Amino acid sequence: MPYRSRDDDGDLAELARLCARLPLALRIAAERAIGRPWTPLRDLVAELRDESSLWTALGSDDDADAVRTVFAWSYRALSEGASRLFRLLGVYPGDDFGPAAVAALLGEPVPTARRLLDDLAGAHLVENTAPDRYEFHDLLRLYANDQARTGEPAESASAALERLALWCLHTAWNAVRLLVPEARDRDLPVLPPDVPGQAFADHDAALTWYERERRNVISLVRALGEQGRDDVVPLLSDVLREVYARHNHFDDWIATGTAGLDAVRRRGDRAAEAAALESLGKAHTQRGDRAEGIGFQEAALAIRRGIGDRRGEVASVNALGLAHLRDHRPAAALRHFRLCEAIADELDDGYWKAVAANNVANALIDLDRPDEAVPLLDKALDGYRELSIPGGEGDALRGLSHAHRLLGDPSAARRFIEGALSIAAQRRNRAWDAFWSLEAGRVFLALGAPEQALVHYQRAASLQRQLDDQVREAAVLDATGEAYQESARPGDAVGFHRYAVEVFRRFGERWRLAVALRNLGVALAAAEDPRAAAEALEEAADLFAAHDDPTARRHLAEVESLRPPP
How far apart are alpha carbons 445 and 439 in whole angstroms?
Answer: 10
pLDDT for the residue 15: 73
**Sheet holding 96-97: strands in order across?**
96-97, 133-135, 127-130
- Indicate the SS3 state at residue 279: helix
pLDDT for the residue 566: 65
Could you tell me the fold of the domain covering 78-152?
A: Arc Repressor Mutant, subunit A (1.10.10)
DSSP secondary structure letter of residue 21 = T
How far apart are alpha carbons 487 and 35 in whole angstroms?
Answer: 66
Closest CA to 14 of 138, 144, 123, 124: 138
pLDDT for the residue 72: 74
In this prediction, the residues of the chain whose per-residue pLDDT falls under 70 are 1-6, 18-29, 31-32, 35, 47-70, 73, 566
What single-letter amino acid sits at 192?
P
pLDDT for the residue 70: 59
pLDDT for the residue 25: 62
Question: Given 1.25.40.10, 1.10.357.140, 2.60.120.380, 3.40.640.10, which CATH number is that of 469-566?
Answer: 1.25.40.10
Q: What's the Cα-to-Cα distance from 171 to each of 9, 210, 338, 471, rounded to whole Å?
A: 43, 9, 37, 33
pLDDT for the residue 43: 79
Q: What's the Cα-to-Cα distance from 230 to each of 235, 260, 266, 302, 385, rounded to whole Å?
A: 9, 8, 8, 23, 37
pLDDT for the residue 52: 40
